[in-house]
């Protein structure tokens, strides 16, 4: 099968550090290639996969609206010209890219990793279209966009081979917080938990650049980072995440927003490290209660269940998560979805 993946410019595929969808696109390209498919990528400059790469646009997350408009035109020209050269087009970029090929015979999957703009869904599905399926990374995320068209939940994935199981940890193992250091991620709550329980807390993530979140970091977080109990590790690559997550007693996930998926939860589980997360967004879907962690309502419950975290079997935690979220599993889910779509061929 001839497969084309699409990703917005801005960050190359795969990303050098952070880049959620860029990382997913690379993993799926490699998995599709391993399964014997002919894979191509339409993405930003300096991207590479085991297949053909077509570059467009500019790798700059702060690029102008005019530049983004030019990128849409480039994607339209490419897709219209090559509309008959692919059997399956998997778009992780902007929905607008698909406009010239909505009614083309190629089977198309539009994948979302964040809350969906319903206006665009209504517009696209009102136009002549065929062989188009929408997916999102959780039931919660699907619920934000499922106003028209065909929708399916397909979870995000990680490459479990990048993470090793740590079955045994030291008695006084630190807690871990991993993610953007924005207020909605709840780092202040994680620090409060660590202080109340006399645990060390390892913090991994980027310092925010937006004014409100940078102010939050400087005023509410940085004064509490002492390098002894509350330790800021900086932005972590895959090797560092594997090291620190594997040695942690638990990952704290005290979010204050409806997280569409939460990849860091699965990265922790891949090391056997249980997750204690607030019941928001996709958390109840990602955590298997009592197996890979605990779902809690508030800080008080997080303190309570931290006392039970040693009851989690870390090997079972990893195995359960791998069965649901490994890149090989999810790539096959997308291909199964495609095969089922071909049977209906609506």
- Could you tell me the pTM of the whole model? 0.91
Structure tokens at 155: 């979870």
Q: CATH number for the domain including 74?
A: 3.40.50.2000
Residues 127 and 219 reside in one and the same domain:
no
> Structural domain of residue 82, as residue ranges?
2-157+326-344
Considering the domain architecture, whether residues 282 and 182 belong to the same structural domain is answered as yes
> Can you tell me which residue has the tokens 């399916």?
152
Mean pLDDT by groups of 10 residues along the chain of 346 residues: 96 82 93 96 96 95 94 97 95 97 95 93 95 95 94 95 95 95 97 98 94 97 97 93 97 96 96 98 96 98 96 98 96 88 58
Q: Cβ distance 271 to 263 under 8 Å?
A: no
- State how far the Cα of 140 lies from the Cα of 105, in Å rounded to an integer: 30
- One domain for residues 229 and 90: no
What pLDDT, on the 0 to 100 scale, is given for residue 15?
A: 87
In a shared domain, residues 86 and 131: yes
pLDDT at position 346, please? 44
Q: Given the structure tokens 């550090």, which residue do they identify?
A: 17
Residues 9 and 134 in one domain: yes
Find out whether 293 and 313 touch, Cβ atoms under 8 Å. no
Same domain, 139 and 287: no
Q: What is the DSSP string of 175-231?
A: EEEES---GGGTHHHHHHHHHHHT--EEEESPPP-SHHHHHHIIIIIGGG--SSSEE
Q: Same domain, yes or no, for 149 and 27?
A: yes
Coil, strand or helix: which one is 233? strand
125 phi/psi in degrees, rounded to 5: -75, -15
Nearest in space to 173 (alpha carbons), one of 55, 312, 27, 289 = 312
Same domain, yes or no: 331 and 320 = no
Domain count, the chain: 2
Measured CA distances, 327 to 9, 120, 258, 276 (Å)? 22, 29, 24, 23
Q: How far apart are CA 339 and CA 312, in angstroms?
A: 38
Do 87 and 113 belong together in one domain?
A: yes
Contacts of residue 55, Cβ cutoff 8 Å, sequence gap at least 6: 43, 44, 45, 46, 47
Q: Order of strands across the sheet with 52-55?
A: 52-55, 38-43, 2-6, 88-91, 107-112, 132-136, 151-153
- Whether 102 and 129 have beta carbons less than 8 Å apart is answered as yes
CA dihedral 298, 303, 304, 308 (to 10 degrees): 120
Rg (CA), the chain: 21
Residues 152 and 14 in one domain: yes
Task: Please report the sign of the dihedral spanned by the C-alpha atoms of residue 210, residue 184, residue 143, residue 111.
Answer: positive
Note the pLDDT of residue 341.
66
Are 194 and 60 in a shared domain? Answer: no
Between the CA of residue 187 and those of 18, 109, 201, 207, what are the distances in Å?
Answer: 19, 35, 10, 12
301 and 337, same domain (yes or no):
no
pLDDT digits (tens, 9 = 90+) for 159-184: 999 999 999 999 999 999 999 999 99
Q: How many CA atoms lie within 13 A of 109 on its CB side?
A: 28
**Alpha-carbon span 255 to 105, nearest angstrom:** 42
The whole-number pLDDT of residue 342 equals 64
């Amino acid at each position: 099968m001839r497969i084309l993946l699409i990703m917005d410019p801005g960050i190359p595929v795969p990303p050098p550090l952070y880049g959620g969808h860029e990382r997913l696109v690379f993993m799926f390209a490699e998995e599709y290639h391993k399964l014997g498919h002919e894979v191509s990528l339409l993405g930003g400059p300096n991207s590479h996969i085991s297949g053909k790469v077509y570059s467009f646009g500019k790798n700059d997350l702060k690029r102008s609206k005019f530049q983004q408009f030019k990128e849409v035109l480039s994607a339209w020209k490419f897709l219209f010209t090559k509309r008959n050269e692919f059997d399956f087009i998997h778009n992780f970029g902007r929905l607008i890219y698909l406009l010239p090929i909505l009614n083309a015979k190629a089977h198309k999957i539009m994948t979302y990793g964040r809350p969906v703009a319903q206006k665009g869904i209504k517009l696209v599905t009102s136009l002549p279209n065929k062989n188009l399926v929408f997916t999102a990374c959780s039931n919660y995320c699907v619920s934000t966009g499922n106003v028209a068209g065909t929708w399916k939940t397909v979870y995000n994935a990680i490459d479990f081979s990048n993470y090793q199981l740590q079955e045994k940890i030291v008695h006084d193992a630190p807690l871990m917080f991993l993610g953007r250091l924005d207020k909605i991620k709840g780092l202040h709550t994680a620090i409060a938990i660590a202080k109340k329980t006399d645990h060390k807390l390892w913090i991994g993530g980027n310092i925010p650049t937006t004014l409100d979140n940078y102010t939050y970091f400087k005023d509410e977080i940085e004064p509490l980072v002492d390098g002894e109990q509350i330790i800021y590790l900086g932005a972590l690559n895959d090797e560092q995440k594997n090291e620190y997550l594997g040695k942690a007693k638990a990952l704290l996930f005290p979010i204050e927003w409806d997280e569409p998926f939460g990849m860091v939860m699965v990265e922790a589980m891949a090391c056997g490290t249980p997750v204690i997360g607030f019941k928001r967004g996709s958390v109840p879907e990602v955590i298997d209660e009592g197996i890979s962690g605990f779902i809690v309502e508030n800080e008080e419950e997080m303190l309570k269940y931290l006392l039970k975290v040693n009851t989690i079997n870390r090997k079972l935690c990893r195995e359960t998560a791998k069965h649901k979220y490994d890149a090989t599993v999810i790539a096959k889910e997308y291909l199964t979805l495609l095969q089922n779509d071909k049977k209906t061929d609506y």
